[in-house]
Every structure is written in structure tokens, then in C-alpha cells.
Amino acid sequence: MPSAPPTREPPGRYQLDGKGPVFRQIERSITEMILNGRLRPGDKLPPEIELSDLFETSRQTVNKAITELAKHGLVARRRRAGTLVCAQFQERFVLPIRDISELVAERGKDYSFEVTRRIRIENGRAGHRWSDLPEGSPLLYLECLHRAGGQPIQFERRYVSIEIIPAVEQEPFDDFSPGRWLQLRIPWSTVRHRIKAINAAEDIARPLGIPPGTACLEIERATVHLGSPITLVHFTHPGDRFELDGLFSVGGDLDRSGLG
């Protein structure tokens, strides 16, 4: 270990630390001041012009830094009024939703899937309905079981619009799961997710190998491309075998977390 620097500045003045791009240094400097409480919610930051003097840089560079902070919700900007530290960095938590095969692989288990059912139906018939498409639209209905280390971990029920993706009728899904296959073939532009807890009904409990009534996490995903609904899928996971999780840090990685 080299000796400590001669003077230990109290962290967080309008001051650069020389590490990395200047605009990142500015971001860090101000984020630290907010986290330290040196800048408190409602406080006004100096105008860009003044900050560019304090940091001895151009106004563009300051603007880039502060605009970034505003995107992350730490400050709010308004012309004439200036830049204010947000009352609360909003409840801006976000949760990533990832592909099951990746998650399984990441945990070092074998991933496998099996298409267990595959029928052509018309929308609205036989208890199948996808309300984003008109009655009678031709659909492919798929059921697919995903396993981690041999144990069922996700049961998938999916509708695919045959009008939009005619090729789906011929596809055997030997190499790729329906989700992957679609992902590789069709770009999406809008996706809606809904996440809820359900008690597993008999038809879901059986393939998953769990007692009926077991709590399951259900993720619904509706995918649209340029206004056309492409696929609607329900992923069902036994509650004791799967959870969503996400870590979120303000300003990137200032905080070494303190969490396991």
C-alpha cells in the first residue's frame, strides 16, 4: 500500500478527481454531494455557466454530466428555474427480466426444454382468447416445459399470430425454444409485462410436478411489432424454484453495496 495522500479532502466539493472522462468526474462529484447530504433535496445547483467555471471545463461538458444525472432522477432541470436536487430519487427501481435459459446456465445447471403441446386454433374458440387480436384470427398455441437440471422450472403457454408469422406453422422447434426462435426471427418494438402470483391449477401443476394450489409466479408478456401483435405468452414458475431479482445503485457504482 502506498502512503495516504497528504491532505484528505472531505469528499464532495465541486472538484474533479482526475479519474476518467471529465463529465463522469462531474457526475461523481455531484452524486457524492447528494448522497453525503452536502446537497439536500430542493437545493439548487449553480447554473451550468458557473459550474463550468468551478470545474474549469466547458459548458457542454457540464451539460452532458447534469443531463445524465437528470435522466437518473437525481436532479430535475427547468429553464430559468435552474437545476434542483430531487426530493427523493423517485421510486425508480427497475427489474430486469431475462431469458430462462440464460438464468439456468448462469447458475451452472443444465437447461432443456420440451414442446408438450402444439395446436392451431382460431382466436376466441375453445377457451383460447387473445384480446389484442380479432375474433377468429388464426393462432398457433404452444405449451412448453423448461427444465433446470432435469427439474421443471418454467411452464410456458404461448400464442403466436399465424397471419404475421406464417413460418411458425412449419417450425418444429427442435433446436430453439419458441421464445428464442421468435426472438431470432422477429424484432419487437413494444412489450408489455404483467407479473402476478397465482395458485397453480391442475393443468399447470401437473407438468410442473407440483401439488395443485402451489403459489406460482406468473409472467405475462405481450409482444408487438409496428402495431401488429406477434405473440402472447404466459410463463409460470413454481414459487419455491424461481424468483426475480435485481440490484440497483444510484450513480452507477459509488456504493460497494453492503449487501450479500
Residues near a copy of itself (CB under 8 A) are 34-37, 87-89, 91-99, 102, 131-132, 183-184, 187-199, 213-218, 221-222, 224-229, 237, 239, 242-251, 254-260
Residue 166 touches which member of a copy of itself, DNA, none, C-beta under 5-8 Å by kind: none
The per-residue b/e assignment along 15-38, b for 16 or more CB within 10 angstroms, e otherwise, is ebeeeeebbbbbbbbbbbbbbeee
Q: Is residue 252 within the footprint of DNA (CB under 7 A)?
A: no
Sole binder of DNA in the list 47, 149, 213, 246 (CB under 7 A): 47
Mention every residue, 6+ apart, whose C-beta is less than 8 A from residue 136. 122, 123, 124, 125
Minimum distance from residue 17 beta carbon to DNA (Å) = 12
φ, ψ (nearest 5 deg) of residue 94: -130, 155
CA distances for 3 relative to 6, 7, 9, 11, 138, angstroms: 9, 11, 15, 18, 73
Q: Is residue 59 within the footprint of DNA (CB under 7 A)?
A: yes
Closer CB to a copy of itself, 128 or 180, in the complex = 180
Residue owning grid cell 502506498: 2
Minimum distance from residue 23 beta carbon to DNA (Å) = 4
**How far, in Å, CA of 207 to CA of 114, rounded?**
11
State which H helix or E strand residue 112 sits in. strand 111-122
AA letter at 3: S
What three-state secondary structure class fits 195? strand
Closer CB to a copy of itself, 117 or 166, in the complex = 166
Closer CB to a copy of itself, 46 or 239, in the complex = 239
**How far, in Å, CA of 188 to CA of 225, rounded?**
5
> Binding segment for DNA among 22-30, 108-116, 130-138, 216-224 (CB under 7 A)?
22-30
Sole binder of DNA in the list 36, 58, 116, 189 (CB under 7 A): 58
Minimum distance from residue 1 beta carbon to a copy of itself (Å) = 20
Q: Is residue 29 within the footprint of DNA (CB under 7 A)?
A: no
Residue 126 touches which member of DNA, a copy of itself, none, C-beta under 5-8 Å by kind: none
Q: How many CB atoms lie within 10 A of CB 185?
A: 13
Minimum distance from residue 162 beta carbon to DNA (Å) = 39
Contact residues for DNA (CB under 7 A)?
21-24, 45, 47-49, 56-61, 63-64, 66-67, 70, 77-83
